Amino acid sequence: MKDLGEKQYVLNGLAAREAWRLFKIMAEFVEGFEELPKVYPAVTIFGSTRIKPGHPYYQKAETIARLMAREGFSVITGGGPGIMEAANKGAAEEGAYSVGLNIKLPHEQVPNPYANVRLEFRYFFVRKVMMAKYAVAFICLPGGFGTLDEFFEAVTLVQTHKIRPVPIVLVEKDFWSGLVGWMQERLLGEGMISPEDLHLFAVLDEPQEVVEYVKEKARAYRLLSKR
């Protein structure tokens, strides 16, 4: 009986901790839902944290964000260094909403100084919802596992109709060509995806063509008022 009592005590404690965790998750959702509607329409830009200022990818991310801001878009990033910093910088310097959705990690990700709208998250899945909910496009520059995760999640959500169709762009053809070739050869070749799934995203190089593609597709999908 004593063992059963101790077990129940442990289970009660665990239940209390899980209930408290639920409230923390809800609080993160509430904060995002209260703060981010003002940034719509936005483009969410993904890419490596490891890219340094002066790198061509950094400069390209900054230019894309700057051009998107001039067209009236806000820019959302994960709030950290590298590509995220470049995108926040480009948007902020054009006077647009420059949103940084930072994540708490064991090795702290330091928020970049260019986000003028900042939120901090403990839970990746809440952060991902906020990155998607107010975005009318996803733009992926070169990156690692995190960028791949974000790209494939965006494509999957559109493919499965869990979100409305949105333009999705991979920037830098040389970087992405191996992955796209593998998708064509193995995923499509072995029937894992349909031919139309490869049209859910575009692979582009130049910042201006990225902006024009996003505008054209966003209008076609009725995500924007006429600009």
The CA radius of gyration of the chain, in Å to the nearest whole number, is 20
Q: Under DSSP, is residue 130 helix (H, G, I), strand (E, B) or coil?
A: helix
Comparing CA positions, the residue from 9, 4, 25, 57 lying closest to residue 121 is 25
- The phi-psi region of residue 121 (left if phi > 0; otherwise alpha if psi is between -120 and 50; otherwise beta) is beta
- The phi-psi region of residue 174 (left if phi > 0; otherwise alpha if psi is between -120 and 50; otherwise beta) is alpha
Q: Does the pLDDT value for residue 15 go beyond 70?
A: no
Q: Does the pLDDT value for residue 10 go beyond 50?
A: no
pLDDT tens digit string along 114-164? 999 999 998 889 999 999 999 999 999 999 999 999 999 999 999 999 999
Can you tell me the mean pLDDT for 44-62? 97
Q: Does the pLDDT value for residue 1 go beyond 60?
A: no
Comparing CA positions, the residue from 146, 72, 150, 66 lying closest to residue 109 is 146
**Structure confidence at residue 225 as a pLDDT band (50, 70, 90):** low
Q: Does the pLDDT value for residue 107 go beyond 70?
A: no
**Structure confidence at residue 5 as a pLDDT band (50, 70, 90):** low
Q: What CATH topology corresponds to 38-220? A: Rossmann fold (3.40.50)
* CA 191 and chain centroid, separation: 28
pLDDT tens digit string along 17-30? 777 888 889 988 88
At residue 80, φ and ψ (nearest 5 deg) are -95, -160
pTM for the whole structure: 0.88
pLDDT given for residue 21 in this prediction: 86
pLDDT tens digit string along 83-106? 999 999 999 999 999 999 998 776
